Amino acid sequence: MREIIFDTETTGLDPKTGDRLVEIGCIEMVNRVTTGATFHAYFNPDRDMPAAAEAVHGLSITFLSDKPRFHERAADLLEFIGDSPLVAHNAGFDFGFLNTELEMCGLDAVCRSRMIDTVALARVRHPGAKLSLDALCTRYGIDRSHRTLHGALLDAELLAQVYVELTGGRQIGLELAGEAADTLVAASVPLVRRDRPLLPARPHAPNDTERAAHAAFLETIKAPLWQS
């Protein structure tokens, strides 16, 4: 199954009040394994960058001033994500900005039925625990030492690893398919012969000789723990 892990950086918290999307990073996964295919873009928001937002992601208006507007890359983005499920951390936030930008371009919004929220998954898996991306990376031993500021593609890469852990662990992508798998599975199932009578269960209680031998062995142990 193909899925897209994505993250966004913005000028603020609410697209309804004029905040804009300034960066998006997407990573393709197939059967919970990253393929190496990515989509990454910065966008000129045509507005100022609040200091609080810049402190989070480090993207200044000077840096973004020569970047394309969202509508210039919208077609490329939509082609990359296709009709795949979209996975994000606190996904409602990212979907809100993505769909606002799409609607401003006169394009259809991405249906929220495609949304997979890793915060919701983590809340079920780890009730009462901290659910930030940093906290989940710590919980699962994912190295984030190279993350000094938020960045859409970097955060998507970390989230991809977190998502695998939240949905069953790294072994989930180790799948067998086709005739080779059928042969291996068949070979691993022991054959049961139905033409032989069932034997009675073997007694497992020790007899007198075995109990005496065990007692003699215990006598040879000096200062046993069970007598301390």
In a domain, 192, yes or no: no
Q: At 36, which amino acid appears?
A: G
User: Model-level pTM greater than 0.75?
Assistant: no
Give the Cα separation of 97 and 109 in Å (integer): 10
The pLDDT tens digits of the residues spanning 64-86 come to: 999 999 999 999 999 999 999 99
Residues 6+ apart with CB under 8 A from 63: 42
In a domain, 218, yes or no: no
The confidence score (pLDDT) of residue 127 equals 95
Provide the angle, in degrees to the nearest 10, between the axes of the packed helices 118-125 and 152-166: 40
Q: What is the mean pLDDT of residues 171-198?
A: 42
In a domain, 20, yes or no: yes
Q: The domain spanning residue 126 has which CATH number?
A: 3.30.420.10
Looking at the predicted structure, is the pLDDT value of residue 133 above 80?
yes
The confidence band for 171, taking pLDDT boundaries of 50, 70 and 90, is low
The residue among 24 and 196 whose pLDDT is bigger is 24
In a domain, 78, yes or no: yes
SS3 168: coil
Answer yes or no: 150 catalytic: yes
In a domain, 195, yes or no: no
The residue among 33 and 185 whose pLDDT is bigger is 33
In a domain, 42, yes or no: yes
In a domain, 206, yes or no: no
In a domain, 8, yes or no: yes
- The whole domain housing 160 covers 2-173
Number of domains the chain is built from: 1
